[in-house]
A and B are shown apart, each in its own frame.
Chain A
Amino acid sequence: MFLQQLVNGVALGSVYALIALGYTMVYGIITLINFAHGEIFMVGAFIGLLLVSYFKVNVFVAIIGAMIFCMIMGVLIELIAYRALRKSSRLSALISAIGVSIFLSSLALMVFGADAKGFPDGAFPVRQIHVGSADISTLQILIIGVSAVLMMGLEFIVQKTKIGKAMRATSEDYNTSALMGINVNRVISFTFALGSALAAAGGVLVGVLFNAVSFNMGLMAGLKAFAAAVLGGIGSIPGAMLGGLLLGVSEVFGVAIGYSSYRDAIAFTILVLVLLVKPTGLLGQKITKKV
C-alpha cells in the first residue's frame, strides 16, 4: 500500500516538476510569474492528442511533436506579450501573462469544445507489473522515465553547454551579463523554449495517464506547479524538481488517507506552512536586500 502510493505520488510529482521547471527558469531570468505556462501544458496535451489520434504516431513521437510546437509557441508568446513589458512594472507583465492564459484557454475551448477528450485505446500499451506489494503500470514507468530523461537533459544543457552558462549568468545578473556580450534576448527566448517544451511533455504524459485532455486542465496544474516551484525556492532548478515530487507525493498520500475532497488544498497548505518556516522555499537562497 505504501509502496503503491509512493509510486503513484512520484509519477504525479514528476509531472508537477516538469511544469514547475518552466516557471522557475523563467522566473530566475526575468522575475516574471509566467501564468500562461499552465496553458502551454494544456496546449501540449492537445497537440499530443491530435498527433496520436489523427496521425497515428506513437506516444514518444507525439511527445516530441508537442514539445516542438510548444517551443515555438512559448517563444512567440514571449515576443508578443512580454518583451515590450520587460522594462515596465512586473505587475503589468503579470497581467499580460494572465491575458495570454485566458486567451489560450478560451481558444482551446472554441477549437476543441468543452468536454474532456481521451486518447484512443491502445495509444500506449498499459500493463501492470507486480513489484512486491505494488502494482506499477507501464504508464507510470513511462511518466517517471520520460521525466527523468528530460530533467537530466535539462541539467546537462544548463550546466555543460554554452547557452546554459549564458542562462545561469543572466539569472545571476541580467545587466552585467548584457554588458559582457551575452545576447540576453536570445537567452530569454531559449529559456521560454526550454520551459515550454518541458510543459508540453508533461501535458502529453498527464493526458495519457488520466486519459483526459480538456481546455481547463492547465489552470489547476499550473497553479500547483507554481506552488511546487515556490516550495522548492523559485529560481532554483533542483528546487523545482524537489518541490514537484514533494507536492505530488503528499497529494497522493493525502487522498489515500481519506482527504480526497480536500485534494486541491493539500498542496497549498503544505506550501503555506513551509513558507512560514522558511520564507524563501526549501532550496531558495536568502538574499539580503539593501537600500
Chain B
Amino acid sequence: MADFLNSLVGSVDPYMLQILVNVGIAIVLALGLNVITGLTGQLSLGHAAFMSIGAFTSAMVTIKTGLPFAANLAVTGVVTAIVAAAIGFPILRLTGDYLAICTLGFAEIVKVFFLNFEPTNKALGLTVPPAKTSIPMPIYVWVVAILAIILVTFVQNSRFGRALKAIREDEIAADAMGINTARYKIQAFALGSFMAGIGGGLYAHFLSYINPSDFGFLKSVDILAMVVLGGLGSVPGAVIGSSVLASAPEFLRFMSQYRMLVYGALLVFLMVFRPNGLLGGVNVTELLLRAVGRKPAGK
C-alpha cells in the first residue's frame, strides 16, 4: 500500500506536487476560517495564530513523543480548539471590527510569544522531523482536505450550521429565537481553529521547518482573502478561492519581481468586479443539477 502510494506520488512532477500540497493545506485553513467568518459572520484577522499554535504543537508532539501522525494531528487539533475556546470565551462578546482587531492583536501576541519561547528555539525556528507515517505527505494532506470538505459540508447543513447562519444574519434576532449565541459562537470559533491547528500541523511536517514569523498578519490576510474571494459561507467557494490564491503566486512566478504587485492588483480587481466573491450567491448544487438536466428539488 505504502509502496504503491509512494510510486503514485513519485510519478507527479515535484513542482506541481508542491503546489498541490500548498493548495490542500490552504483548503483546510480556508474552510476553518469559513466556519468562523463565512458561516457565523465573525470577522477574524488572526487565523494564522491558530495555525501557528497547531504547527508548533504538532512539531513538539512529533519531537517529544512517538505518536503516529494521525493521533498527532488529532491531539494538535484538540489543543488548538481548547486554546481557541479559552480565547473566544472573553473576546467573542465583542462585535464587528472590535472583534477583528482583537483577533489581530491576539495573533501578534501569539507570534511574539513564540518568538520568545525557549522550547521552540525562539526566533531561530524549529526543524520538524519527518511525520511518523508510511503514507506520503501529499496524499495525507489531500485526505485531510477532503475530510475537511465533507465535515464543513455536513456542519453547514446541520442544526448547528443553521444556528450559525442565523447568528450571521442577525445576532439579536437569533438570540430572541432562543439560540444561545455566545455558546454557538465559541463552538464555531473552536471548530474553525481546530481545522486551523490541523492545517498548521500539516504545514509544519510538509515544510519540515517552521518559524514564528511565517504566521504573521499577512498569513491571516492570505487565508481571509481566499475565503472572501471564493464567496463567504460557500464550501465550493472556499475550495476554489484557496486553489486560486494558493497557486497564483506560483503561476505568476514568470513575472518574477512583479509577482506580488500583480497579486495585490488582482485582489482589488477581483473584488471590484465580483464583490461577493467568485462563487458568492451561486448555488453550486443547483447549477450541477441543471447541468445534468434535472430540476433542483423543491422548485
Total number of residue pairs linking A and B with CB closer than 8 Å: 139
Contact A33 B100 (CB under 8 A): yes
CA distance A267 to B109 in the complex (A): 9
B102 within 8 A of A: yes
Contact A99 B105 (CB under 8 A): no
Query: Looking at the complex, which one of B91, B116, B221, B272 makes contact with A85 (CB distance below 8 Å)?
Result: B272
Tell me the A49-82 residues at the B interface (CB within 8 Å). Answer: 80-81
Which residues of B lie under 8 Å from residue A98 when comparing CB positions?
221, 224-225, 267
Contact A227 B261 (CB under 8 A): no
Tell me the B255-284 residues at the A interface (CB within 8 Å). Answer: 257-261, 263-268, 271-272, 275-277
Query: Looking at the complex, which one of A84, A89, A261, A290 makes contact with B232 (CB distance below 8 Å)?
Result: A89
Q: Which of B21-29, B128-136, B168-176, B190-198 forms part of the interface with chain A?
A: B168-176
B228 within 8 A of A: yes
Which residues of B lie under 8 Å from residue A94 when comparing CB positions?
43, 228
A100 within 8 A of B: yes
B104 within 8 A of A: yes
CA distance A96 to B173 in the complex (A): 30
CB proximity of A272 to chain B, nearest CB, Å: 5
CB proximity of A27 to chain B, nearest CB, Å: 7
Which residues of B lie under 8 Å from residue A289 when comparing CB positions?
172
Indicate whether A291 sits within 8 Å of B228 (C-beta atoms), given known contacts A98-B221, A102-B263, A230-B98.
no
Query: Looking at the complex, which one of B37, B90, B225, B267 makes contact with A276 (CB distance below 8 Å)?
Result: B90
Tell me the B232-267 residues at the A interface (CB within 8 Å). Answer: 232, 257-261, 263-267
- A-side residues, CB < 8 A to B, are 27, 31, 33, 80-81, 84-85, 88-89, 91-96, 98-107, 109-110, 219, 223, 226-227, 230, 234, 261-265, 267-269, 271-272, 275-276, 279-281, 289-291
Would you mind naming 14 contact pairs between A and B with Cβ atoms under 8 Å apart? Answer: A94-B228, A95-B267, A98-B224, A110-B258, A219-B218, A223-B217, A261-B112, A261-B116, A263-B112, A271-B101, A271-B102, A272-B105, A276-B90, A289-B172
CA distance A289 to B176 in the complex (A): 13
Tell me the B87-141 residues at the A interface (CB within 8 Å). Answer: 90-91, 93-95, 97-98, 100-102, 104-106, 108-109, 111-113, 115-116
Contact B113 A265 (CB under 8 A): yes
CB proximity of A120 to chain B, nearest CB, Å: 27
Which residues of B lie under 8 Å from residue A81 when comparing CB positions?
268, 271-272
Which residues of B lie under 8 Å from residue A105 when comparing CB positions?
260
Contact A230 B101 (CB under 8 A): yes
CA distance A280 to B91 in the complex (A): 12
Tell me the B53-86 residues at the A interface (CB within 8 Å). Answer: none
Query: Looking at the complex, which one of B106, B228, B232 makes contact with A272 (CB distance below 8 Å)?
Result: B106
Indicate whether A91 sits within 8 Å of B228 (C-beta atoms), given known contacts A81-B272, A96-B268, A271-B101.
yes
Which residues of B lie under 8 Å from residue A110 when comparing CB positions?
257-258, 261
B229 within 8 A of A: yes
CA distance A233 to B213 in the complex (A): 29
Task: Please report whether the interface of chain A is mostly helix, strand, loop or mixed according to DSSP.
Answer: helix
Indicate whether A275 sits within 8 Å of B98 (C-beta atoms), given known contacts A89-B275, A110-B258.
yes
Which residues of A lie under 8 Å from residue B261 when comparing CB positions?
103, 106-107, 110
Query: Looking at the complex, which one of B93, B109, B266 makes contact with A279 (CB distance below 8 Å)?
Result: B93
Closest to B37 in A: A91
Contact A265 B272 (CB under 8 A): no
Contact A92 B97 (CB under 8 A): no
Which residues of B lie under 8 Å from residue A80 when comparing CB positions?
268, 272
Query: Looking at the complex, which one of B102, B116, B259 makes contact with A262 (CB distance below 8 Å)?
Result: B116
Which residues of B lie under 8 Å from residue A96 when comparing CB positions?
267-268, 271-272
Closest to A233 in B: B98
Which residues of B lie under 8 Å from residue A95 when comparing CB positions?
224-225, 228-229, 267, 271
Closest to A84 in B: B272
Which residues of A lie under 8 Å from residue B108 when comparing CB positions?
223, 264-265, 268
Contact B217 A291 (CB under 8 A): no
Indicate whether A223 sits within 8 Å of B225 (C-beta atoms), given known contacts A89-B232, A95-B271.
no
CA distance A33 to B96 in the complex (A): 11
Which residues of B lie under 8 Å from residue A264 when comparing CB positions?
108, 111-112
Indicate whether A99 sits within 8 Å of B268 (C-beta atoms), given known contacts A89-B275, A226-B101, A275-B94.
yes
Which residues of B lie under 8 Å from residue A107 when comparing CB positions?
261
Task: Please provide the 10 A-B residue pairs with the shortest distance between their CB atoms, ordered closest to farther.
Answer: A99-B267, A103-B264, A102-B264, A268-B105, A88-B275, A265-B112, A106-B260, A99-B268, A96-B271, A92-B275
Which residues of A lie under 8 Å from residue B115 when comparing CB positions?
261
CB proximity of B53 to chain A, nearest CB, Å: 15
Which residues of A lie under 8 Å from residue B268 when comparing CB positions?
80-81, 96, 99-100, 103
CA distance A109 to B261 in the complex (A): 10
Closest to A269 in B: B109
Indicate whether A102 sits within 8 Å of B260 (C-beta atoms), given known contacts A33-B97, A91-B43, A230-B98.
yes
